[in-house]
Amino acid sequence: MQHCSPEQLALAALREPLSATDAAHLADCAACHAEVSALRRGVDALAFPALAAPTTSLTPPPRVWDAIAAATGVSATPASHPTPVSHPTSVSHPTPEPAPLATVTRLQPRRNRWMAVAAAAALVGGVAGVVALTRDGSGQVVAATTLDPLDADDSSGTAEVRERDGVRSLQVDLEAPSLGEGYYEVWLLRPDVTGLVPLGVVHQGANVVPLPAGLDLGDYPVVDVSVEPLDGDPSHSGVSVARGSLS
């Protein structure tokens, strides 16, 4: 019995038609059939209509660009973009000077992004824009960041400040290894790490922690995730694994 060639089996996994001989063999040969099934798992995962090349062009609402500009600090605007509207807020953003670090792990360069955002906002008219990114049943996202791993840690995630009925909460989606002992805790830091607000224990996956009323996110824009030992000491362990700056 002549088996199908490896190349023919790959084409079969892609659902390309085979020659009559190959097709007849494949129908009867358990080994070749198993090979096609094994190759097809990858095909089925990726050759999926929603991932296909774009077919339709739709104009996104202007707030999509506003959010990109806010997150990147870019002040250029696309030619067709409507005149940007500033959203005055009560938040005032002092321009943080790089300062000597306190007891917590040094800041990653994301702080620069925050400063870029503040600078861009200042250019627009002296006020910082808080851009509504998304809106759904769990409230309006008023600020967000990705949480980037620090140094060699492979923890990462996202953090979003949501506001619903005037109450703010922080949603933290954390991708992090399981801890043998200890736990993860999320904090808000000043950019120069001269102050920090503990928000609570978080675990891998989705978490929602309430934010203290009146807390100025302009003062405490840095979301920090630390590993804390179970030692009864409520202060920051100094072991930060992921961080991002809200914008």
| Residues contributing to the site for other proteins (CB under 8 A) | 6-7, 9-11, 13-14, 16, 38-39, 41-61, 63-65, 67-68, 71-72, 74-81, 113, 133-136, 173, 205-206
Looking at beta carbons only, is 9 or 196 nearer to other proteins?
9
Is 128 exposed, middle or buried, given 0-12, 13-18 or 19+ CB atoms closer than 10 A?
buried
Length of the chain in terms of residues written = 247
Q: Provide the minimum distance between the beta carbon of 49 and other proteins in the complex, in angstroms, as a whole number.
A: 8
Q: Provide the minimum distance between the beta carbon of 135 and other proteins in the complex, in angstroms, as a whole number.
A: 6
Looking at beta carbons only, is 30 or 52 nearer to other proteins?
52
Single-letter amino acid, residue 77: T
Residues 105-111: contacts with CB within 8 Å, 24+ apart? 105/150, 105/151, 105/238, 105/239, 105/240, 107/191, 107/192, 107/193, 107/222, 107/243, 108/148, 108/150, 108/243, 110/145, 110/148, 110/222, 110/243, 110/244, 110/245, 111/191, 111/222, 111/245
Q: Provide the minimum distance between the beta carbon of 108 and other proteins in the complex, in angstroms, as a whole number.
A: 12
Q: Provide the minimum distance between the beta carbon of 23 and other proteins in the complex, in angstroms, as a whole number.
A: 15
Looking at beta carbons only, is 71 or 104 nearer to other proteins?
71
Structural contact between residues 221 and 144, judged by C-beta atoms closer than 8 angstroms: no
Structural contact between residues 144 and 159, judged by C-beta atoms closer than 8 angstroms: yes
Q: Provide the minimum distance between the beta carbon of 8 and other proteins in the complex, in angstroms, as a whole number.
A: 8
Looking at beta carbons only, is 137 or 180 nearer to other proteins?
137
Looking at beta carbons only, is 32 or 104 nearer to other proteins?
32
